[in-house]
Chain A
Amino acid sequence: MSNTAAPPAHADYRLSQLDELEAESIHIFREVAAEFEKPVLMFSGGKDSICMMRLAEKAFYPAKIPFPVLQVDTGFDFPEVLSCRDSWVSRLGVRLIVASVDQAIADGVVVDDGKTSRNRLQTGTLLNAIEKEGFTAAFGGGRRDEEKARAKERVYSHRDEFGQWDPKNQRPELWSLYNGRIRAGEHMRIFPLSNWTELDVWYYIGQEKIELPEIYFSHTREVFVRDGMLLSAGDHLLLRPGETVQERTVRFRTVGDMTLTGCVESNASDVAAIIDEIAIARVTERGATRGDDRFSEAAMEDRKREGYF
């Protein structure tokens, strides 16, 4: 091998942390599109999945994103989230598949016995949609910094034919050589944002001027306090004795099912203000506002095993 190339003009060819994270995520999207027969992007309407949309858009530009988008309709989604979703989907020209929890209950795919949480029902609905459509790879917006159980999650996370995750039996993942081998009936969860933190996501949203649902920014809303969380008042939740509705200036740090997702009081009306707020925030986004994670330290891990996103 002969070597005639001149050394580079300057030695500091470095990427910023956001550019490096973006390059890694784009690499993951392309790798999956090249190696899997039927990928799908799981879209929750939250900032992480919207970031994924932008990264996927960049990965294949000027071609369209070569896979559809799947959303689980909980029946309790914020209208602002649905309209943001529709605007993204129509701009990118991707196919949208909506898997409805209510439909899944009606079809007997999942059983709503009044005790099962909406989250479990969502998991069942999601797994059913993946199986029915025969998706072999499903992109999720999970980040490893979100929760302890996620710190050991792989970028390519193998799911057995029941959609379950086996944390004891994960494949080693080396360099950026992802192993996409699956057997019939199995699928892979793909986490292109694995190495991003909550702050990275917000910096990126700011840098890229990414359109988000309005509920992320401060607005006035009718709310009430339940179990220490501020929940949005409305037809979807019956007030319990002693609960009273007040108008407050709030924003949401995560979006999900309206019956479970709390908001925080905040005046942050743009991305810069949100970044300032997060930089000094003392509570993780899940701990602050997700009723479903608060029960035990291991709650997340249990749900992940069952195939939650």
Chain B
Amino acid sequence: MDLLRFATAGSVDDGKSTLIGRLLLDSKAIFEDQLEAVERTSMAKGYDYTDLALLTDGLRSEREQGITIDVAYRYFATPTRKFIIADTPGHVQYTRNMVTGASTADLGLVLVDARQGLTEQSRRHAVILSLLRVPHLVLAVNKMDLVDFSEDVFNSIQNEFTSFATKLTIPDLTIVPISALQGDNVVKRSEHMPWYAGPSLIHHLEHVHVASDRDLVDARFPVQYVVRPKSDEFHDYRGYAGRIAGGVLKPGDDVLVLPSGFTSTIAGIDHFHTEIEEAFPPMSVTIRLADDLDVSRGDMICRPQNAPEPSQDIDAMVCWMTNAPLRPRQKLAIKHTTRTGRVLVKDVQYRLDVNTLHRDLETKELGLNEIGRVQLRTTIPLLCDPYEKNRTTGSFILVDEATGVTVGAGMIN
């Protein structure tokens, strides 16, 4: 059994909560007491049906307003896979939540209402998923029951979306007609849509091939922590603990340590009591080197012929997440892999209209929930790759030094 993380997006009332409620219910991730609580609430509200959407409504204040306004994580499993859903709300102003949910997702699930077809919001959701390099996209055309399960309606939405998607980076696109309320094509193939030859939604989620999504060629190991027991038994032990960000590392491999430029050989790779023969992403391991080098947190272990270019001038797409705008000459803290430093905003080159992909070159700032191309100068060199090559070594967060709040998310070009 492996793990698939996916992010959901849809405009209000497209049926996202109903769909998630159904996935949880049909995979038995919902328990009797949770269902009872929701049945009670549905009755109290005077509904004559159980509102599955209530299963996933989070915090009370949001429940009172009847809207979801933050990323919520849900869990369910089928016999073949465990799923983590990052459930992100679809409001205009909450781009930051979608970016957050998409940042860890292997797959993005965008819902549209069959009666309305593609909206500005559905296009935006696809754009954000593509910017965040989520490798698989599923467009679920929901409420097919309300358009008489019409093949024509589905085809026209499919065609419109496919032609829009050519402007984006979407390596793998699947489009499924469903009814979240009635269950058509959610778990089982629907009898109402014999014209649809593809898999049910859950079948696709269970089988989508994610093994090749991670970079297994370019070895990247950001050092997180130095393990030095200094005990009698492990007197001379010195291990570099961290999580493999890319590539496959093996004992005996020649390595290069950045930024120092020293080279050595991997003496061993430890995971608790076992020595590992091959370490690959996203494993957490401890690497021992053959030579006594001065390696510390923030350094990067890679291969001599294949290393990232250390750089203090960073060109990135930034999603801004706070009210006060991002402006040139602003100073912020940055966290990239296991390195932290400070940055100076050199320039806001353009703001991207996530609905039309239009580049606005006039505005020299980014407001809350806006995404744009930004030039930064860092106090320390970042050991980075383009985000499109590696989502771990290509991403960073920006932090306001006064409040400590995370205010920006960056993807390096």
Contact = CB atoms under 8 A, between A and B. Distances in A.
Interface in A23-65: 23-24, 26-27, 30-31, 33-34, 57-64
A149 B58 contact: yes
B81 to A, nearest CB: 8
A194 B75 CA distance: 11
Assign chain A's interface to a size class.
35 or more
A282 B391 CA distance: 39
A79 interface: no
A57 B227 CA distance: 12
A34 B224 contact: yes
A177 B97 CA distance: 15
Interface string B51-74: 000001111110000000011111
Contact of B72 (A151, A182, A287): A151
Given A30-B241, A149-B59, A176 B224 contact: no
Nearest to B394: A175
Given A14-B211, A148-B34, 12 more contacts: A11-B211, A13-B248, A16-B1, A17-B2, A17-B81, A30-B284, A60-B241, A62-B227, A63-B234, A172-B99, A200-B82, A287-B32
Interface in B1-53: 1-3, 29, 31-34, 37, 41
Interface stretch (A1-9, A240-248, A254-262, A265-273): A1-9
Nearest to B272: A58
B224 A20 contact: no
Interface string B246-288: 0110000000000000000000001111000010111110100
Interface string B331-363: 001011010000000000000000000000000
A18 B229 CA distance: 27
Contacts of A282: 31-32
Interface in A261-293: 281-284, 287-288
A148 B31 contact: no
B309 A174 contact: no
Interface of A: 1-5, 7-8, 11-17, 19-24, 26-27, 30-31, 33-34, 57-64, 144-145, 148-149, 151-152, 167-168, 170-177, 179, 181-183, 194-195, 197, 199-200, 281-284, 287-288, 297-298, 301
Interface of B: 1-3, 29, 31-34, 37, 41, 56-61, 70-75, 77, 81-82, 84, 87, 96-97, 99-100, 103-104, 210-212, 214, 216-219, 224-225, 227-231, 233-234, 237, 241-243, 247-248, 270-273, 278, 280-284, 286, 297, 303, 305-309, 321, 333, 335-336, 338, 391-392, 395-397, 399, 404-406, 409
B285 to A, nearest CB: 9
29 contacts: A1-B307, A3-B306, A13-B278, A15-B2, A15-B282, A16-B2, A17-B1, A21-B3, A22-B284, A24-B284, A26-B284, A34-B225, A34-B338, A60-B241, A61-B227, A62-B231, A62-B234, A64-B229, A145-B29, A151-B58, A152-B72, A173-B406, A174-B395, A174-B406, A175-B392, A177-B395, A179-B335, A179-B404, A282-B31
